[in-house]
Amino acid sequence: MRILILGAGKMVSALLEGFIGSADFSNIYIYSPSGVSAQTLAKKVNAKWVTDLGEIEQIDYVWLGCKPQQLSSLSGILHKNVLNAVFISFLAAIPEDDQRKILGIEKLIRVMPNLNVRFRKGISLISSKSSINYLNEVKVFFNLVGDSLIVEENELDELTLLTGSGPAFLFEFAKYLAESFTSLTPPERERLAKAVLIGAGASLSDPNVTFDELINSVTSKGGVTIATLDYWRGHQLQDEVKTGIKAGKKRSLELLSSIHHI
C-alpha cells in the first residue's frame, strides 16, 4: 500500500507515530507546500518526503492532512497520477460530496481520528458513499492505532465532537478539579489529577460496565463523593455540558458555511 500524505500537521504526525512498527514507512510519502514540515516529519518517522507531486507513481491512497481552508488551493497542484487514488480526508465539517467536487476526484473516504492514535488508543470514525468497497480495508488499517467505526456521514459529523474533541473536555475538567484544592503546589496537584485520569481510564477496560456502575463503585451512601456529585447534579451540570456541546455543533455549522464561501 503506497500512501501520499498532503500536509504534516498534528493529526498526521500523531497517526504516523502510532503506526510505527506496524506500517511500511518505505511506501509513505509526505508533501507540504513549503517542504519544511514534510521533511521534518519524514525524518522523524523514517518516511519519505517529496517536493514535486509529479514524481510519485502508483499511489493507492492520498491522505488529506491540510486545513479545510487549503482545500481549494490544493486542487490546483494535484497531478493526474494521483487523481485515481482513494483519498482519505481528515477534514472536519466539509461533506464528502463537496470535497470530491472541489478536488475533482471520484473516490473519497472521510476519517475522523483523535490524537490518542499516537498511543494506539485512538478512535477513528469512518464514512463514505463513493468508496464503499474500500471501507473495510481502511477500517482494518486504522484499527492498528486504536478502534475504528464505520458510520453514516451525519453521524460522523456529530460524533466528531465526542471522539475528536472529547479528550480536551476531559482535560479541562481534570484541570478544574486540580485547581479546586490548595494542598501541594499547582504542578503537583496537576500530576495527581493526571494520575487519577489515567487510572480511571484503566477502569473502562471492560466494555460491559456502564458509567453508572463505575460511579456507584466509587460512592457510598452519605459519603463525601456522593455529596459532591449530588451538588453538581442539583445545579444541572448535565445541562451545562449539553449546552456547551450545542455551542460546538453551532460552530461546526459556521465553519461549513465559511468554507462554502471561499
Sign of CA dihedral 74, 80, 84, 85: negative
d(CA 168, CA 215): 21
* pLDDT per residue as tens, the chain (262 positions): 899 999 999 999 999 999 999 988 989 999 988 889 999 999 999 999 998 887 777 899 999 998 887 888 887 778 777 888 999 999 988 999 999 999 999 999 999 999 999 999 999 999 999 999 999 999 999 999 999 999 999 999 999 999 999 999 999 999 999 999 999 999 999 999 999 999 999 999 899 999 999 999 999 999 999 999 999 999 999 999 999 999 999 998 887 777 655 5
Residue 259 counted as domain residue: no
Residue 261 counted as domain residue: no
Choose one of 101, 117, 152: the last residue of a domain.
Answer: 152
The verdict on 136 and 238 lying in the same domain is no
- Give me the domain span that covers residue 237: 166-252
Return the closest-CA partner of residue 28 out of 37, 40, 17, 16: 16
Residue 94 maps to which CATH number?
3.40.50.720
Q: CB–CB of 171/115 below 8 Å?
A: no
Into how many domains does the chain fold?
A: 2
